[in-house]
Amino acid sequence: MPSAASTTLPPSRSEGSSLTESDAALLQPAAEGCPEAFSTLFNRHYGNIHAFAYRLCLCGAEAEDIAQETFIQAARALGSFRGQASFKNWLYAIATNRARDRLRQRQRRERLDTALQAEAMPAGMASRPDAAHDRHDEIRAALGALPLAHREVINLVFYENLNHAEAARVLGCAESTVSWRLFRAKSKLRKLLGSHD
Amino acid sequence: MTDHDLKNRLSALRPPAPSPEAADRALHRATIAAASSRAYVSINRIRTAWMFPVAAAFSAACLVVLLALRAPAPEASVPALSATDLKLLAQLDEVFPGRINAVVIRDGATELDLAERGSAVNAADQAVVIELSRDNQRLRVLSYSGRDVSLRLAAGTLDFSPLLTADGQVVIAGADFVWSTSAPRPVAGWNIRATPLSAL
């Protein structure tokens, strides 16, 4: 699988000149070695990428690893980023590829379903009220029942509010594939969550 | 349940906050990676001067050993051509960015199925190779997941879309048939084999 970091995403239809001014202003100095500029970009996007990674792998520890690998890969490839897509979407593409690699490694060890059920509760969740805790677990289990490709589109379209074309660019697939996967994912989620209404 | 309801339900998933230690560690390592990447460019120029002949000699030796050990297999035609296929697709994608629906290799000749307009640029990891065979005839179709392919056959035109699934399987969906890696069946009298190019 080609590295997302070495891939130049095509221009976004809805984004136009898609870089926010502040990201655009920071990218050039960051690529030229200014640690403050890179640090600012990191602080701006790290939390979001961590949450994105968590919703893909559904594991707090792995989300931290994926977020770290994403920024390491982005740091190495900053010079090749041409700003044709938003910096955030570029990071999504890298994080998606890192998550795919991670889950592939995990599946080598054991089946994904078993791994998800066996995982311990991530740190920081024990203090949640029971109702919120239950709802979190219910959604986590439902997302865990989806294939990764379906979680990817749910993550990008439902959680990150990308349109289908933008999600297709992040995932490196056709827009119709995104639509098809989203349809399948929603159908399955409705089945899984519907009985609890 | 509407999309809006479903979205609301999904919002109950609360990713745990990353630990400050993890964030600090990530920033530190990424900063080092950025710095070492710039240094690597200049160091690499020096390194490759002597590494290239060594690597080339090593690769050639490995290739000779592999060729000597590997017995020819009649079913190996798909993997054997994968590198050529990827190169061909990459070159054509440069010429027709986002427009390649399919490349059809028929009797040694190459035909192009192009979309009228370019859409999302095809990603190399979404490339699929489909081989159709019947009697002594053999067609080789290179395409991408989600593309609409229109294949000219003696009996008419076969329209279909290849789709890659998350677990690396290929599904070929036509107007009145569905072929998949796990449930292969002849279509219009043609035997089909399909696999992701990246898996070869």
Chunked mean pLDDT (size 10), chain A, 197 residues: 40 44 80 85 94 93 93 88 83 93 74 52 52 84 92 94 92 90 92 70
Nearest-Cα distance to chain A for B136, in Å, is: 34
| B7 vs A contacts (CB less than 8 Å) | 158
Residue A129 lies in a domain: yes
Q: Which two tokens stand for residue B122?
A: 């095809």
Q: Does any domain span residue A182?
A: yes
Chain A, nearest residue to B41 by Cα: A76
Residues of B in contact with A136 (CB under 8 A): 12-14
Is A124's CB within 8 Å of B17's CB? yes
Q: Shortest Cα distance from B112 to chain A (angstroms)? A: 19
Chain A positions touching B18 (Cβ under 8 A) are: 46-47, 50, 60, 63-64, 67
The token duo for A55 is 């919703």
Q: Is residue A6 part of a domain?
A: no
Indicate whether A2 belongs to any domain.
no
pLDDT at res. A45: 94
**What pLDDT is attached to residue A9?**
43
- Ranges of each domain in chain B: 1-70, 76-199
Do the chains contact at A174 and B126, CB–CB below 8 Å? yes
Instruction: Give the per-residue pLDDT at A193.
Output: 87
- Domain tally for chain A? 1
Least CB–CB distance from A125: residue in B16, B31, B145 = B16
Quote the minimal CA–CA distance from A64 to chain B in Å. 7
CATH of the domain at A119: 1.10.1740.10
pLDDT lower than 70: segments of chain B: 36-52, 70-82, 120-122, 199-200
In a domain, A4, yes or no: no
- A73 domain residue, yes or no: yes
Q: Establish if A5 belongs to a structural domain.
A: no
The predicted model scores a pTM of 0.52
Amino acid A185: pLDDT:
93
